[in-house]
Amino acid sequence: MSSDTTPAERLAAFLARTPYIAFLGMRAELAGDEMTAILPFSPHLIGNTLLPALHGGVLGAFMEMTALAQLAVITGGPRPAKTIDVTIDYLRPGRAMDTYARAQIKKAGRRISSVHVEAWQEARAKPVAAIRGHFQMPTEG
Amino acid sequence: MVKPPDFIAAMTGSLNEEAARHMVTRTPQTEALGFQFVSISEARGAIRVPWRADLVGDPETGVIASGVVTTLLDHVCGLSIRAADAVPQGTLDLRIDYMRPARPQADLIADGHCYKLTRTIAFVRALAHDGDPDDPVATAQAAFALIGGGA
């Protein structure tokens, strides 16, 4: 854990260094130690034009990036954590609108961390999707 | 809004190669990711995503982001279900294991197999590799709800 940067600086550095996050158009805000990730709606995120609905892969990827961002907030090094596995639950269709996500680090290990993420649109209590994942923590230095 | 006939064909009925190609390359997200149709056969499908700088997860390694792999695997699962003549309504769950990082600047190919259909559910396995299917980058296991299954 590093103390020479602030959580906000670590979050901004993670978001800025990842090209795929720019591809998604994802951003994130910190309120104290609580991070909310935001995926503004954009037509290129659509997977089903009939409904229309966000691509399920986009929702999964957004939540995975949310987990990595939350881990970047608590770790100091410049390297991001690496995904070992994720299990994605699809609960409701992801509609053509902004999506939000929050991560809970269930265990912050020295080598491996376990993170849960929920994503929602209109109501926090009605999540559209959730993931559980394990992540390999970056080695220091 | 009137939909082009090939889009309807991609969503319903039996899947020919033209409809499969449309399903892989012409939805907004797969078009944005640059997905390419590889093949379909009985209950199986394959999709390629060419490497691109803006899809990278870690610029120090130049490896395609795991999030791209997630969308690739989800989509190839849907394609395999269509190749089994069923119509997916949506993903119920998708479990992905990342076995190793892809090679820097490598294209990724995903193979999916819909190995079991019930009246309401499709069960699918898929893997993503960067050249050798016996040395996968990631493997996936998914369940999809089917349209017309009365779920």
pLDDT in tens, B38-52: 999 999 999 999 999
pLDDT value at residue B151: 42
Stated pTM of the model: 0.93
Better pLDDT: A46 or B147 = A46
Residues facing A27 on adjacent strands: A38
Asked whether the beta carbons of residue A64 and residue B92 sit closer than 8 angstroms, the reply is no
The type of residue at A129 is: A
ipTM of the modeled complex: 0.93
B51 in helix, strand or coil? coil
B9 in helix, strand or coil? helix
> Over B66-100, what HEC string results?
HHHHHHHHHHHHHHHHHHCCCCEEEEEEEEEEECC
Query: For residue A32, which of A12, A7, A60 has the smallest C-alpha distance?
Result: A7
Q: Which of B12, B24, B29 to mutate to test the interface with A (most CBs of A within 10 A)?
A: B29
Segment A12-35 shows an average pLDDT of 94
pLDDT value at residue A122: 96
The type of residue at A31 is: A
How far B78 CA sits from the closest chain A CA (Å)? 10
Q: Which tens digit of pLDDT belongs to each residue from B44-82?
A: 999 999 999 999 998 999 999 999 999 999 999 999 999
Are residues B46 and B109 in contact, defined by beta-carbon separation less than 8 angstroms?
yes
With an 8 Å Cβ cutoff, the interface of chain B facing chain A consists of: 3, 7, 11, 27-32, 53-60, 64-68, 70-75, 90-98, 101
